[in-house]
Amino acid sequence: MLTNSVNNWRRTKYSREVKPEISGEEVTVMGWAHEIRDLGGIIFVLLRDRDGIIQITAPSKKIDKDLFENLRKIRKESVIAVKGIVQNSPKAPGGVEVIPHSLAVLNEYKQPLPLDPTEKVRAEIDTRLDSRFLDLRKPAVNAIFKIKSRMLHSIRLFLEENEFLEINTPKLVASATEGGTELFPITYFEREAFLGQSPQLYKQIMMSAGFDRVYEIAPIFRAEEHDTLRHLNEVISIDIEASYMNHEDVMDILEKLVVQAIKDVRKNCSAQLDVLGHELEIPATPFERIRYEDMIDLVNSEGVSLDYGEDMSRAAEKAMGEIMGGYYFIIDWPSSIKPFYVMPDEKNPEKSFSFDLMYRDLEISSGAMRVHKHDLLVDRIKKQGLNVDSFEKYLASFEYGMPPHAGWGLGAERFNMSLTGVNNIRETVLFPRDRRRLTP
C-alpha cells in the first residue's frame, strides 16, 4: 500500500541489528528496495538501509494474499517499510530473514534511474557525481564517508585528550595568507575580499591570545588552476597550533594522531574496509624522517632531475612514493620555498625547521616551527615580496608577548585517501568542487 507519510511507522532495527540471536522477534525495518526476486510462489525483497541489506522473504502460503500482491508490485529503489518476524535462514545474507506481515510503500521512484545503485552497470566518475545522491547509496561509495566520519571523530578525540581547544576562524578574509595566487576573490559589500586559503594567521594569533593549543577542522579554498587526482578547490583542513613547542614536538603529535586514527578505523570500520577491498596496515613508528637534501639525491638516483631549492615536482613525488611506500616525513626544507612564517634554522638560515608528511607519493600535511619574533617576521614577509601593510593586524599580535609555537595542517581528504585506498580525491568528498564542477 502506498502511504504519503511515515504515520505510525517507526524503525525498530537497522539491517545490521537483525541477527539470528533475535529470531522470533517482531521488527520494523526501513529503506530502499534494493532487489526484488519474484519466483511465483515466493517473493524475495532485499531491503537496503544505511548499514546494509536484509532479506524479506514472502512465501505465498504463509502470508496474507493482499500483502503478497503488494510485495509483487514493489519497484526497485522505492522507499519501503516492512514489519515482520525475524527467522533464521542459513541461505539468506547474514543467515537471517524477515517474514513480513505488513508493508508500507513510502515513496516510489521515477523511471529510468539515471544511475544503478546496485552497480550492475559501472558508471564514469562524472556521471556518478551528477547523480551523487544515487551514487552515495552504493555500499562501496558510502563506506568512504563512514570511514571519513570515524576518522574525524578519532582526530577530535585525540586532540581533545591532548588538551587542544577547538576554534573557528573566519573564512571571509581581507588578504592572502601566503601571497595572492591561489585565492578566490569575492565581493564583500563595496570591497573585495577573499575566501580563506588557510587558518594559519588566525591560529597563530590565538597563541598570542593565550589559548596555548588550538585546532580547527574547517574548509579551505584554493583557486588551484590545475585539474589533478589530488587537488580540489574546497577541502577540509585539520589544523593545529601549539605554544612552547618546536617542529619535532608537533611532528610527534601528528604521527600519534595518524596511528590512532588508523587503529580506530581498523577497529570500527572493518566492514567498510572489506567493502572497499582495502587492507589498512598499522604503520611502524617513528615514521622515517628524510632530509630534503637526501630526498633530492634519492630522486636524482631514480633519474628524476630536481635541483636544491626547487619544490618537489610530480615526478619527484612519484619517485619518492616508489622508494618509500607508507608514511614518511621530509624535513629541513629550504627557507626559500616555505612560507614566510616558517622558522629558519639560526645556524643556517637557508634551511628551515619545517616538514611535510607524505603517504607514498601524496603530500598529506605541511608543518613547521613558526617565527615568533616580530622583526624577523617582517623581514621574512619583505624577502618573499609580500606587502607588510596587509599583515598589520597579524603582526601586532607578535609585539606584545607571542610565545614560541609550531603547528601543521593536515588535508582531511588526502588523509582519507590513504585510509581508503581510493586514488581520486573526488571520491572522498560528497559534493566535490573542481575546476569544472560547481554542482550539485
Residues in contact with Mg ion by the rule CB under 5 A: 366
Does residue 258 bind ligand ATP (CB under 6 A)? no
Q: What are the backbone dihedrals phi and psi of residue 267, each rounded to the nearest 5 degrees, phi first?
A: -75, -45
Please identify, using beta-carbon distances, which residue of 116 and 224 lies nearer to ligand ATP. Answer: 224
Q: How far is the CB of 333 from ligand ATP (least distance, A)?
A: 11
User: Which residue is at the shortest CB distance from Mg ion?
Assistant: 366
Please identify, using beta-carbon distances, which residue of 366 and 418 lies nearer to Mg ion. Answer: 366
Neighbour tally for 341: CB within 10 Å: 22
Q: How far is the CB of 126 from ligand ATP (least distance, A)?
A: 19
Say if residues 362 and 372 touch (Cβ distance below 8 Å).
no
Residues 6+ apart with CB under 8 A from 104: 1, 3, 7, 9, 80, 81, 82
Residue that has been written with the C-alpha cell 577491498 in this structure: 277
Q: How far is the CB of 184 from Mg ion (least distance, A)?
A: 19
Taking CB under 6 A as the criterion, the residue among 169, 237, 272, 416 binding ligand ATP is 237
Interatomic CA distance for residues 199 and 220, integer angstroms:
8
Q: How far is the CB of 364 from Mg ion (least distance, A)?
A: 9
Q: DSSP of 190-250, one letter per residue?
A: TEEEEE-S-SHHHHHHHHHTT--EEEEEEEEE----S--SS--SEEEEEEEEEET--HHHH
Give which of Mg ion, ligand ATP, none residue 409 binds (C-beta under 5 to 8 Å, depending on kind).
Answer: ligand ATP
Cell for 95?
543467515
Does residue 384 bind ligand ATP (CB under 6 A)? no
Distances (CA, A) of 139 to 50, 53, 277: 8, 10, 12
Taking CB under 6 A as the criterion, the residue among 56, 176, 214, 232 binding ligand ATP is 232
Q: How far is the CB of 409 from Mg ion (least distance, A)?
A: 8
Does residue 235 bind ligand ATP (CB under 6 A)? yes
- H helix intervals, 243-359: 247-268, 270-276, 292-301, 314-324
Please identify, using beta-carbon distances, which residue of 55 and 365 lies nearer to Mg ion. Answer: 365
Give which of ligand ATP, Mg ion, none residue 235 binds (C-beta under 5 to 8 Å, depending on kind).
Answer: ligand ATP
User: Which residue is at the shortest CB distance from ligand ATP?
Assistant: 411
Bridge partners of 87?
Answer: 97
Q: Is 370 helix (H, G, I), strand (E, B) or coil?
A: strand
Give which of Mg ion, ligand ATP, none residue 128 binds (C-beta under 5 to 8 Å, depending on kind).
Answer: none
Please identify, using beta-carbon distances, which residue of 54 and 412 lies nearer to ligand ATP. Answer: 412
Residues 211-230 that bind ligand ATP (CB under 6 A): 222, 224
Q: How far is the CB of 223 from ligand ATP (least distance, A)?
A: 9
Q: How far is the CB of 168 from ligand ATP (least distance, A)?
A: 18
Q: Letter for the amino acid at 66?
A: D
Does residue 231 bind ligand ATP (CB under 6 A)? yes
Cell for 187?
565581493
- H helix intervals, 32-138: 65-73, 125-130, 132-135
Residues 311-370 that bind ligand ATP (CB under 6 A): 363-366
Four-CA torsion 28, 34, 39, 43, nearest 10 degrees: 10
Element (H, E) at 102: strand 96-107
Say if residues 138 and 189 touch (Cβ distance below 8 Å).
no
- Piece of the chain touching ligand ATP by CB under 6 A; list 2-10, 118-126, 373-381, 409-417: 409-417
CA nearest neighbour of 156 among 203, 199, 217: 217
Give which of ligand ATP, Mg ion, none residue 413 binds (C-beta under 5 to 8 Å, depending on kind).
Answer: ligand ATP
Does residue 409 bind ligand ATP (CB under 6 A)? yes
Give which of Mg ion, ligand ATP, none residue 231 binds (C-beta under 5 to 8 Å, depending on kind).
Answer: ligand ATP
- Piece of the chain touching ligand ATP by CB under 6 A; list 78-86, 151-159, 232-240, 427-435: 232-240
Please tell me the number of Cα atoms within 13 Å of 28 on its side-chain side: 11
Give the interface size with ligand ATP as a residue count (CB under 6 A): 15
Q: How far is the CB of 366 from Mg ion (least distance, A)?
A: 3
Please identify, using beta-carbon distances, which residue of 77 and 434 lies nearer to ligand ATP. Answer: 434
Question: Which positions lie near ligand ATP, rule CB under 6 A?
Answer: 222, 224, 231-232, 235, 237, 363-366, 409, 411, 413-414, 425
